[in-house]
């Protein structure tokens, strides 16, 4: 796939506040992806930085300044410390960018001729995925591209498991309704959505409380028996 383009036809622009405002489901989808990637990094003790709508300062194919704000941006070597922005010159290219499609931005996000997809792929972003949580914009759950040694190819799901496997990251993704599931390919483990983690912890808490009450009952019964003796 060629990523060359007549410069005057480019649609690239810096993301504005209007571009970033999203519905509840849009923000929930972003937060779920960010949290899952942070969980992978924590579990594997990796120095990943997962940006949540964090500005990325770089140059567009015109060689002029460009300041996109990806919904999700993963740098594998930048560390977890909080940042105000990322810079290509100082931090290098992100290894993964995910945009969550919305009615006002999805066409720009997937435009590989003159829009955001073209801009990211011209930079050489290895993994670029657009997720459609509403399921009615792309005609598919995800649309993506991968760039390796300067060659850009459509990013298709695996025929074996239906997941989008990221280059060089040992993770994959799969649309599940309005959320995008992250899978740690290192041990083929689906990462929990935040609500699933909350439900599991609440269940564990109730089990601990139940066990504590049972122990109290047994201790009371033992004390009663000793008193009778």
Q: Tell which residue, 118, 144, 120, has the closest CA to residue 131.
A: 144
Tokens 């309005």 identify what position? 178
Q: Domain boundaries in the chain? A: 7-191, 192-229
The domain 7-191 is placed in CATH, from the list 3.40.50, 2.60.40, 3.90.1570, 3.30.700, at 3.90.1570
- The C-alpha atoms of residue 221 and residue 75 are separated, in whole angstroms, by 58
Task: Name the 3-class secondary structure at 167.
Answer: coil
Whether residue 143 contacts residue 97, with contact meaning beta carbons closer than 8 Å, is answered with no
Residues 6+ apart with CB under 8 A from 74: 37, 48, 49, 50, 51, 94, 95, 96, 97, 169
Looking up tokens 């799901």 gives 157
pLDDT in tens, 104-162: 999 999 999 999 999 999 999 999 999 999 889 999 999 999 999 889 999 999 999 99
- pLDDT confidence of 8, banded at 50, 70, 90? very low
CA distance 198 to 196: 5
In this prediction, residue 36 carries a pLDDT of 97
Residue 9: the pLDDT is: 57
**What percent of the chain clears pLDDT 90, i.e. is strictly above it?**
67
Record the tokens describing residue 22, joined without a space.
């999203």
Buried b (16+ CB within 10 A) or exposed e, 173-196: bbbeebbbbbbbbeeeeebbbeee
Q: What digits encode the pLDDT tens for the residues 160-174?
A: 999 999 999 999 999
pLDDT number for residue 21: 62
Question: For residues 61 and 94, which has the higher predicted lDDT (pLDDT)?
Answer: 94
- Alpha-carbon gap, residue 169 to 102, rounded angstroms: 26
Look at residue 27 and tell me whether its pLDDT is greater than 60: yes
pTM of the model: 0.83
Q: What is the mean pLDDT of the chain?
A: 89
């Amino acid at each position: 796939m060629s990523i060359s383009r007549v410069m005057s036809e480019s649609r690239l622009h810096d993301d504005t506040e209007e571009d970033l405002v999203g519905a509840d489901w849009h923000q929930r989808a972003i937060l779920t992806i960010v949290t899952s990637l942070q969980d992978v990094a924590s579990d594997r003790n990796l120095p990943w930085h997962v940006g949540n709508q964090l500005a990325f300062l770089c140059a567009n194919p015109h060689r002029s300044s460009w300041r996109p704000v990806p919904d999700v941006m993963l740098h594998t070597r930048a560390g977890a410390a909080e940042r105000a922005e990322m810079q290509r010159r100082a931090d290098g290219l992100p290894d993964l960018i995910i945009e969550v499609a919305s009615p006002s931005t999805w066409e720009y996000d997937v435009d590989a001729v003159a829009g955001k997809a073209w801009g990211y792929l011209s930079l050489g972003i290895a993994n670029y995925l657009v997720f459609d949580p509403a399921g009615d914009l792309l005609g598919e759950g995800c649309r993506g591209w991968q760039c390796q040694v300067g060659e850009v190819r459509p990013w298709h799901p695996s025929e074996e498991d239906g997941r989008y496997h990221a280059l060089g990251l040992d993770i994959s993704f799969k649309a599940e309704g309005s959320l995008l599931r992250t899978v740690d390919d290192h041990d083929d483990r689906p990462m929990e959505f935040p609500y699933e983690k909350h439900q599991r912890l609440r269940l564990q808490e109730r089990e601990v409380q139940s066990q504590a009450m049972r122990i109290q009952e047994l201790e009371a019964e033992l004390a009663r028996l000793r008193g009778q003796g």
